[in-house]
């Protein structure tokens, strides 16, 4: 049966100039480069410059995606931006990006808040907007400045996160409805609010009237991550009538190399098929998947017809997975 698919038209990314190596944290807290590498796989991360906002990162990533797709801002109907670190409480960061891209008056823009799983939620929403005919071309962005919500005295969190942005443009294309179609083939979205306390920010508009800092029970999140990501990944494949052997590339959320490896082993996918950027970016929350996607695309790793599996988990807990044929 003919269906409207959301196919990838181009992607882009942006990383702030400042690179912070693990060794810099040895001066701040009781940690070592060896511990950070061994426990997380992270070697360095980028931090936004003073005054550089989430929207600034997002706009650069979006511009690169437009160039990659051979499109202009006027070709975009909607901007869907996943972030947990918006410029302001309101208006949405997405509307700032929309204005900068010059999408004109025909479209719309909004933010999505699902923390580190935000990109998968944004992708699912953008796909639904295209399938329903609400929009024909959607700029899907993950952009974060987690350096703004770090407790620099907390060694269990401050060494793990980074800033950055990634973007992918999805466009409507008629498909056959089969798993051989290009585009997003399935999405799985999940959350369980009973686990709010495992990963949260201790501030907010209606509680403290401050932005707050990130708090995490890392070991607990780790256990949930491997189990929930593996199940969501398998469900995404099943929903698309695909098998684990059909997967060309996994583009996972880049939180921890050990989570990436353990999840790949649980699903049964060899490490050669996993895109890994955590060593250079740290955990950039909602930006991590589109960042990894665009870096891999720039390296020419994806070929038309490749099947990509994406999966992410974050505060909420909130998690999900998606399949996309390149």
Closest approach, Cβ 304 to ligand UT7, in A, equals: 31
Terminal Cα-to-Cα distance of the chain (whole angstroms):
21
Nearer to ligand UT7, 183 or 252 (CB): 252
Per CB under 6 A, contacts with ligand UT7 among 2-31 are: 31
Nearer to ligand UT7, 159 or 172 (CB): 159
Q: Which of 22, 68, 125, 283 is catalytic?
A: 283
- Give yes or no for residue 219 binding ligand UT7 (CB under 6 A): yes
Residue from 11, 22, 68, 116 carrying the catalytic annotation: 116
To ligand UT7, the closest distance from the beta carbon of 25 in angstroms equals 7
Q: Which is nearer to ligand UT7, 116 or 123 (CB)?
A: 116
- Kindly tell me which of 187 and 263 has the beta carbon lying closer to ligand UT7: 263
Rounded Cα–Cα distance for residues 94 and 236 (Å) = 27
Nearest to 61 by CA among 284, 254, 277, 294: 294
Q: 22 catalytic, yes or no?
A: no
191 binds ligand UT7 (CB under 6 A): no
Selected from 116, 165, 262, 322, the binder of ligand UT7 by CB under 6 A is 116
User: Nearest approach, Cβ of 119 to ligand UT7 (angstroms)?
Assistant: 12
x-marked contacts with ligand UT7 along 221-250 as a string, rule CB under 6 A: xx--x-------------------------
What are the residues whose beta carbons fall under 8 Å from the beta carbon of 73, sequence distance 6 or more? Answer: 66, 101, 102, 103, 104
Is the alpha carbon torsion for 233, 234, 238, 239 positive or negative? Answer: negative
For the segment 252-291, give every residue that binds ligand UT7 (CB under 6 A): 255-256, 259, 283
Considering only residues 299 to 318 of the shown chain, the ones binding ligand UT7 according to CB under 6 A are 313-314
For residue 222, what are the contacts with CB-CB under 8 A and spacing of at least 6? 256, 258, 259
- Which of residues 35, 108, 110, 200 is near ligand UT7 by CB under 6 A? 35
116 given a catalytic annotation? yes
Which is it for strands 307-314 and 249-252: parallel, antiparallel or unpaired? parallel
* CA distances in angstroms from 81 to 20, 139, 193, 212, listed in the order given: 26, 8, 22, 21
Whole-number Cα distances in Å, 286 to 4, 28, 34, 162, 305: 26, 26, 26, 11, 25
- 253 a catalytic residue: yes
Strand partners for 14 = 165
Residues 124-183 that bind ligand UT7 (CB under 6 A): 155-156, 159
Please give the positions annotated as active site.
116, 253, 283
Q: Which residues bind ligand UT7 (CB under 6 A)?
A: 31, 35-36, 39-40, 116, 155-156, 159, 218-219, 221-222, 225, 255-256, 259, 283, 313-314
């Amino acid at each position: 049966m003919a269906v409207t698919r959301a196919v990838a038209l181009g992607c882009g990314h942006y990383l702030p100039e400042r690179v912070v190596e693990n060794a810099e944290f040895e001066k701040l807290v009781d940690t070592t480069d060896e511990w950070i590498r061994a426990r997380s796989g992270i070697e360095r991360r980028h931090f936004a410059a003073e005054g550089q906002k989430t929207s600034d990162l997002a706009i650069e990533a979006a511009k690169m995606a437009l160039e990659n797709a051979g499109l202009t801002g006027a070709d975009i109907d909607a901007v869907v931006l996943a972030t947990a670190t918006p410029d302001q409480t309101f208006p949405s960061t997405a509307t700032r990006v929309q204005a900068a891209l010059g999408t004109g008056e025909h479209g719309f823009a909004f933010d999505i808040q699902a923390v580190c799983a935000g990109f998968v939620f944004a992708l699912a929403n953008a796909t639904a907007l295209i399938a329903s005919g609400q929009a024909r071309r959607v700029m899907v962005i993950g952009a974060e400045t987690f350096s703004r919500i770090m407790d620099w005295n907390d060694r269990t969190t401050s060494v793990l996160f980074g800033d950055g942005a990634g973007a992918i443009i999805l466009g409507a294309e008629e498909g056959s409805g089969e798993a051989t179609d290009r585009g997003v083939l399935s999405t799985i979205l999940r959350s369980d609010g009973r686990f709010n306390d495992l990963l949260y920010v201790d501030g907010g508009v209606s509680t403290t009237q401050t932005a707050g800092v990130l708090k995490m029970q890392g070991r607990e999140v780790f256990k949930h991550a491997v189990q929930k990501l593996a199940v969501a990944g398998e469900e995404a494949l099943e929903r698309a009538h695909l098998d684990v052997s059909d997967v060309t590339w996994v583009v996972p959320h880049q939180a921890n190399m050990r989570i990436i490896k353990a999840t790949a082993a649980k699903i049964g996918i060899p490490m050669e098929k996993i895109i890994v950027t955590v060593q250079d970016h740290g955990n950039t929350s909602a930006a991590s998947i589109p960042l990894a996607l665009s870096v891999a695309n720039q390296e020419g790793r994806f070929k038309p017809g490749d099947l990509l599996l994406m999966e992410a988990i974050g505060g909420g807990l909130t998690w999900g997975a998606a399949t996309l044929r390149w």
